[in-house]
Amino acid sequence: MDNGPECSGRRTQFLFRLTEFADMTGLCIRLIYYPPYHSKYNSIERYWAGLEKSWNGYLLDTVDTVVKRAGNFFWKGLRTVTHLLDATYQKGVKVCGNEKSELEQRLQRSPILHWWDITIYPKEVNL
């Protein structure tokens, strides 16, 4: 993970959604974050740099143009898959009180790298 503001180990709404995903899929999820200011090791940053370079000089005047240009981009031999998400992302949604403490109990944080190494186990279902 890149430890950006939307997906940091302190972002309770993001972690809450990941616990729901773990429960829904039965997967154990381990989040390992890059340390601050280490974006050069993050492959998504290199991808974005290549994408920006590939559309240098093109007039990106419509959303459709941007989606099509990005969809034609190849990186490390793989073609980018693009589609437009037109739903509104809710902002200001918070996890508070009991929900927050219940969420924190679901997270197994590394004692050494508390904010940068988090494991989420799915809830056990007894049938």
| Residues above pLDDT 90, as percent of the chain | 24
* Burial call 90-112: b when 16+ CB within 10 Å, e when fewer: eeeeebeeeeeeebeebbeeeee
**Tell me, what's the pLDDT at 78?**
86
Predicted model pTM: 0.63
| Residues above pLDDT 70, as percent of the chain | 88
DSSP H or E stretch at residue 74: strand 74-75
85-126 pLDDT tens trace:
888 877 777 888 888 889 999 999 999 988 889 999 998 765
Domain ranges of the chain: 12-120
Which residue reads 């890149």 in tokens?
Answer: 2
Q: Which of 28, 41, 53 lies closest to 1, judged by CA?
A: 41
20-78 pLDDT tens trace:
999 999 999 999 887 766 666 777 778 888 888 888 888 889 999 889 888 888 888 88
